[in-house]
Amino acid sequence: MAEKSKLFAAGNPVIFLDKKERSFYAVLEVDKIQNIRGDFISHDEVIGKKEGAVLFSQRNKPVRVFRATLTEQVLYMPRGAQVVYPKDIGLIIAYTDIFPGAKVVEAGLGSGALTSGLLRAVGEKGMVVSYEIREDFINNATKNMNNFFGGLPENHMIKNLDIYENFEDADTDRLVLDLPEPWKALENITPHLRPGALVCCYIPTILQVKTCVDTMNYLRCFSQIQIIEALEREWKVDNISVRPSQRMVGHTAFLIFARRVEYGVKPIQPAKTARLQAGEPGNDSED
């Protein structure tokens, strides 16, 4: 993974903070002028400076400059697809126990937000493999990650394949699916997951959750199935009051977590999802 220089350089994603601590995101470019609520500062003045440097705008107002954090990058990055929000990225990394050296497969590269978090978590000895069928998403995500990491990470592989039909990664440690119908992918992928592998499905609606959990139960290769929804609310503290913020980040998605287990009695039966969609009841009792 590319090393970040201690000095700002062209291509670095940064945050400008004015005296009221309002933030303005930008990717540094030579000869570019940054607009800060009607005031201006040149990117050329930032390039070559240390993080946290205090510069002065055209109106002689102090402006601090910092490298954009992963959270700020996610919130402000150019989007080709809906991003996975920081509150969900944190839960995914924690609940799927992404560890240094892990092999993680994700399906649905999107804008590269979750991928950036996964790459940080696996470290240089780990590997993240991203399946994505849309080339425009690949191009946008690649640009975002190149800006954030200061170069494309060598431990990231992108496969322009449909994971519903093609899966090439045996002995996967962790699996993250951000797909419209993840249950269809599970039938194809599950035999390739090592026992003990942890899985996360990122799903926007509760009806999709029901179908996905039904499929996991029928495959009989998953245990400890858990569904979580995260709601994020800030609090304001000043000299005379302590109160919750009037705005909060509400529902973004449901997160399904499960653990891959060996099941030697009944094999995987891919016909289940077809019966689910047709509304036909299935016999899920053990033989």
Of the pLDDT bands very low, low, confident and very high (cuts 50, 70, 90), residue 285 is very low
Of 67 and 272, the structure prediction assigns the larger pLDDT to 67
Report, as an integer, the average pLDDT of 93-109.
Answer: 97
Q: What is the number of alpha carbons within 13 Å of residue 171 lying toward its C-beta?
A: 2
Report, as an integer, the average pLDDT of 169-198.
Answer: 93
- Fold of the domain spanning 72-278: Rossmann fold (3.40.50)
Report the SS3 class of residue 44: helix
> Model pTM?
0.85
pLDDT > 70: what percent of the chain? 90
Residue 255 has pLDDT above 90, yes or no: yes
Euclidean distance between CA atoms 20 and 156, whole angstroms:
39
Where exactly are the structural domains of the chain?
13-68, 72-278
Two structure tokens written together for 162: 């449909």
Euclidean distance between CA atoms 111 and 109, whole angstroms:
6
For the sheet with 13-17, list strands across it.
Answer: 23-27, 13-17, 62-67, 54-56
Which range, of 119-123, 133-137, 277-281, averages the lowest pLDDT? Answer: 277-281
**13-68 CATH pick, 3.40.50.1110, 3.40.50.12160, 3.40.50.620, 3.10.330.20:** 3.10.330.20
Residue 272 has pLDDT above 80, yes or no: no
